[in-house]
Structure 1
């Protein structure tokens, strides 16, 4: 007698386990309606969910923090993890903080307690998969549908934001009540006693809080006086498949050996055929790419001047062109010779600022940005944005000698806002012009935050990246640090001192609200005429809260003392300046969740323009004050 091949039997057991799990879920579905609450008697609280790190996607705190919109440290500290950059073990338990509140859904669901997490859909995501897999049954797709009544589950666009209600409860204020109620999903290998032992509480306290009819994958709440210490498992704690039946192991007769060998041969043959097909497709794709770029390669002019005599690395050129394959049909490909002639060999007299040169090609004045090969992400973002308040990209050029890339932009005649506010310009900007500049920048940010999919975060909003055209209209420039997608965590902190949002500096949180913070600093520059950071290293926004304290008269007095002197010589409505200052203060809130979105900012700034425009041709209206 010969036993069956081990892999075949294990596969049979695994399929049986999955099937049984699905049957169990169908017969005993978890709560789908959430947990009812009374808004009048509910005190919101910060609590925690127990989340399990699971590969391949969620084995680091950054990806889990992104999913729950919290920083790595906010998970590491309660989860007893000393290094927030550590790689997690599969099924490692984590305490993830959430803000729990009572929310009215509709007449069917009533009010339920949950923490609403906004998630931007990616390719392949569904409400069901997100609820069951990524959020690990901490919510249900039925509740997600209820919380998003205007969303059709089968028509969710990539990049669309959906709110996921993570089930939670807050303890009452009555005496002898636990301080914390941890959200926990009942696992297939759990029982009340094992959970109680794990959290060092009594089984009775769990059943008192959740009842006796707890089913697999139900959300339950663990009553605790304090968070316990979580330990990192030595290896994966994924529950093993159920043991095989106790019946005698099936046997295979001698005359079945031939059948087994035949099936193995068929399986290996199919695998070999698939491998040949994959290799053939890969070779074909590489061949097509090389043919696609061959014409472009032949057109490339050799770099002259100081680079004369260097050897062109064709492999580097092909690789760089392959990286930009998505952009070839959308932008003009300039020759290196054209850029060299346009800038007189990149002469310093053509230098605008940094590594940006002014040049003329075919009678058109352009701005040429020279950079090392790190332009791919910037190009990917620029090719999907098109707005009057964003500097337009005209084309690009590759220098294969040193793997350099040159981005060619429209030339914006009047330079940067920074040079007008802090440079040697003979004329100062009027309040009307400053208001229009602020509104233009806000509209540009509104476009990249709300009308691109996925959303774009600029990450480097500052007065030197705001350019003014011949009509003094503003355009946002320099997407070199921009990121497509938000609510991410990064360890690589970049930006300009004085404009960086606190949460990005401390925790590496990337979101649209960091652009809002930087925009608030620009508003302060427009009002005060002062630099974002002074010679002593003090940031302009440090004492902005002083302007929201005291009586209205005192606020206005302090504001007038702080305003740009050139504005004090104008006849303008102080109400308009106060309104802009209020917008700046709200943008600079240290809590990013309390900062306004760009839609609100654009609306508020338009109100400031209306207040300014109330000045009649005969003079000031009764409600206006001359800012002198």
Structure 2
């Protein structure tokens, strides 16, 4: 039996019965170790509790085995994997982990009454720890305000022993395991007695009246603002459409719009309430008439409008598909669309994106910059890109396939956090067949190249190539036309010593001290490169694996491409 620390949270978890039901234990099993005198005692917000959990090794699927306590939770109205993980279980698990262990459920299509397994992170003391009188590993969520020394003091442990178990890269909201020989004595707050019933009822009635009055005023205010906004949007849309029709009427033959122009005008009219509509003169001034000195890459220019920098993508009348996809995606690891512009006279459309300061990952890896990316930064970039892909694959309906994942389409902001750019080839919906093959050599999945099969697994393949670039510092395709992913196959064959030697010779020389962690990432990459798309991991599994990369490694089967993921003890 392992222990997890949880806090009492309003409004649903201010008594031991509700907390016990959540973790499937009795009130007495919580009150005794938590130093609470009576199992029926009320709790106060943020009161610390020790909750016993049964930890065991569980097989997630044929590829993954991990230690966790499997707690069944029945979905209620409004529940999502994310909300239950972060609020009810207070980050003792993650929504990605919940998706991994519940592959038959779709996160966006949960029904009230569905029974979901929530994996609570835990770990059992190993034989060495037991010999050193470590009897418990307490699962604890490291808070943003925590210092490691305070956590160690609170549990009667030491900083070094916590680092020995968890590594020295502990981040806020990570579940850490605190090694202790015995449970510390929690000092519980004294709960003041309730006032007499009449006073309490009178205060409650007064408070309720004030609250209802405030809510009524806020409701009136919100309704007024909403009505004003809708009217403003409607007037703006009508004015813009009228202006564009007049412009095209002056420049077109007999004032008649071409079919594709009329189509785009109708399509983008629905975007007016979401994005800013820029004038073509503003864009020309911002880029000095689209001068080459402001060219970033391809047909994307850098421009300053009202003191703010933007990336401006110049296109012909073919922006509808990209606009349609960008309207339904909103994630921190995707480059944000700020607005657009239609130039009817020259039949151009311009998409205006946020400007991402540090350029592309490709330039950082391959353009001989004096400063090399650290391993920690590269791993963080990999996780950011994986999170962005997981979002478009799992949380959009229909699913979005990017179709052009490569290091030059991954941009780095001022904090070196990654954002996926360029949805020009993206497709909404998957498992389709196309005869029009597009993409970049070295990143294209074999099934797409040979049969035109479009699926999310082609993005997984391309992401595997990006992982290899991050580890090796090499281009996806060299000057002789050799693809990088072919050179990685076989690196993880053989005994540990042989694998480490081959990897050190192959990886970026500035990372040779990170061989162990890099080996697990190469394992993830090789799993992504499986020639059989069905055997490639999902982005949910990839995010989970990379986030736990210090704790696991991949073993590669005989075909050199199928992952077996094992937790390191």
Q: TM-score, normalised by structure 1?
A: 0.49
**Alignment correspondent of 1:475:** 419
Among 546, 549, 555, the residue aligned to 1:605: 546
**Alignment correspondent of 1:583:** 524
* CA displacement at 1:314 relative to structure 2: 6.2
Among 309, 315, 320, the residue aligned to 2:257: 315
Distance 1:302 1:366, change over 3 A: farther
* CA displacement at 1:609 relative to structure 2: 5.2
**Alignment correspondent of 1:340:** 284
The alignment status of 1:402 with 2:402, answered yes or no, reads no
Instruction: Point out 4+ residue stretches in structure 1 off by more than 3 angstroms.
Output: 148-151, 290-294, 297-303, 309-314, 316-319, 609-612
Name the SS for the 2:480 alignment partner.
coil
**Structure 1: which 5+ runs fail to align?**
1-147, 157-289, 304-308, 613-623
**Alignment correspondent of 2:468:** 524
* CA displacement at 1:603 relative to structure 2: 0.9
Name the SS for the 2:390 alignment partner.
helix
**Alignment correspondent of 1:331:** 275
What is the distance in 2 between the residues matched to 1:477 and 1:538? 26
**Alignment correspondent of 1:541:** 485
What is the distance in 1 between the residues matched to 2:417 and 2:407? 14
Count residues with an aligned counterpart. Answer: 326
**Alignment correspondent of 1:55:** none
**Alignment correspondent of 1:415:** 359
Name the SS for the 2:549 alignment partner.
helix
* CA displacement at 1:402 relative to structure 2: 2.9
- Paired residues of 1:414 and 1:467 also in contact (CA < 8 A): yes
The alignment status of 1:466 with 2:466, answered yes or no, reads no
**Structure 2: which 5+ runs fail to align?**
1-102, 112-233, 554-567
Name the SS for the 2:329 alignment partner.
coil
- Paired residues of 2:433 and 2:452 also in contact (CA < 8 A): yes
Superimposed CA distance per residue, residues 416-467 of structure 1 (whole angstroms, 9 cap, x where no aligned partner): 0000000132211010100000000000000000000111100000000000
What is the distance in 2 between the residues matched to 1:404 and 1:609? 49
* CA displacement at 1:611 relative to structure 2: 7.9
- Paired residues of 1:437 and 1:473 also in contact (CA < 8 A): yes
Distance 1:575 1:456, change over 3 A: same
**Root mean square deviation of aligned Cα:** 3.1
The alignment status of 1:442 with 2:369, answered yes or no, reads no
What is the distance in 2 between the residues matched to 1:435 and 1:410? 24
What is the distance in 2 between the residues matched to 1:310 and 1:380? 27
* CA displacement at 1:401 relative to structure 2: 1.8
Distance 1:155 1:402, change over 3 A: same
Superimposed CA distance per residue, residues 514-533 of structure 1 (whole angstroms, 9 cap, x where no aligned partner): 00000000000000000000
Structure label with greater radius of gyration = 1
Distance 1:468 1:150, change over 3 A: closer
Name the SS for the 1:370 alignment partner.
strand
* CA displacement at 1:610 relative to structure 2: 6.1
Name the SS for the 2:338 alignment partner.
strand
Distance 1:314 1:294, change over 3 A: farther
What is the distance in 1 between the residues matched to 2:387 and 2:413? 16
* CA displacement at 1:573 relative to structure 2: 3.8
- Paired residues of 1:314 and 1:400 also in contact (CA < 8 A): no
What is the distance in 2 between the residues matched to 1:596 and 1:587? 6
* CA displacement at 1:589 relative to structure 2: 0.4
Distance 1:528 1:325, change over 3 A: same
**Alignment correspondent of 2:494:** 550
* CA displacement at 1:149 relative to structure 2: 9.2
**Alignment correspondent of 2:175:** none
What is the distance in 2 between the residues matched to 1:603 and 1:149? 17
- Paired residues of 1:499 and 1:517 also in contact (CA < 8 A): yes
**Alignment correspondent of 1:616:** none
**Alignment correspondent of 2:80:** none
What is the distance in 2 between the residues matched to 1:566 and 1:301? 58
Name the SS for the 2:442 alignment partner.
coil
